[in-house]
Amino acid sequence: MITVHHLENSRSQRVLWLLEELGLPYAVQRYERDKATMLAPPELRRVHPLGKSPVLQDAASAGGTPAVVAETAAIVEYLIEKADGRLGAPAHRESALRYRHFLHYAEGSLMPPLLVKLVLGRVPLFGKAAQRRIQPMIDVHLDFVEAELSRRDWFAGDEFTAADIMMSFPLEAARNRAGLDESRPATIDWLERIHARPAYGAALAKGGPYAYA
């Protein structure tokens, strides 16, 4: 059985969504953030030394030894392999390259400035001024994403893939707090289409409150 250690309002919502899309059975172990710090609770350190979410445990891993997998993209690749490649890289080379790019771009390039803006927003006075400096960096990414989605329906190409799942959290966060609005219509349309997917709704029901949907 797969168990997802899921922190509220976090990247781990994508793992639940992917599992619903793939139709793989799983259980959810929910964790709430500390109300004062908004950090993950110490209980997560019992699952993985970093104490972060998501963490996936698979009691029926291919090698016979229970697997513990951390980092969202690594979990996504693990689950795609477990599902015999469904929602993975397309066969067409250019689409496959885009798939791999966006699978890792979501956390490697797009998420860091969004996280910086979130942290700065909690710093009185100086933080507000610094936020204004970081927004142009975020806009470069949002313009890039808009251009890509203006050319095709999904991030890898004509078909929905796990790359779209990986891109959901940073773009939902950008919609919530970093200037993504109707001035970028292709991105907004993409968000509306992913939110309308039945598996997305099922993952919300399993994961509990999620501020960015």
Per residue in 169-193, pLDDT (tens digit) is: 999 999 998 999 999 999 999 999 9
Say if residue 105 is in the same domain as residue 64: no
153 Cβ contact list (under 8 Å, min separation 6)? 190
In 3D space, the residue among 69, 61, 75 whose CA is nearest the CA of residue 13 turns out to be 75
Read off φ and ψ for residue 154, nearest 5 degrees: -130, 165
How far, in Å, CA of 179 to CA of 183, rounded?
9
Q: How many domains would you assign to the chain? A: 2
**120, part of any domain:** yes
Q: 79: which 2 tokens? A: 């689950």
**213, part of any domain:** no
Say if residue 111 is in the same domain as residue 191: yes
More confident residue, 122 or 42: 42
How far, in Å, CA of 205 to CA of 141, rounded?
31
The answer to whether the pTM exceeds 0.85 is: yes
- Which class for 76: exposed (0-12), middle (13-18), buried (19 or more C-beta within 10 A)? buried
Say if residue 127 is in the same domain as residue 75: no
Distance of CA 193 to the CA centre of its chain: 16
Coil, helix or strand for 67?
Answer: strand
- One-letter amino acid at 12 equals S
Say if residue 147 is in the same domain as residue 183: yes
More confident residue, 187 or 121: 187
Instruction: Give residue 169's domain range.
Output: 93-197
Say if residue 97 is in the same domain as residue 82: no
131 confidence band (pLDDT: 50, 70, 90): confident
**46, part of any domain:** yes
Say if residue 119 is in the same domain as residue 36: no
- Over the chain, what is the mean pLDDT? 92
Say if residue 23 is in the same domain as residue 60: yes
Say if residue 113 is in the same domain as residue 191: yes
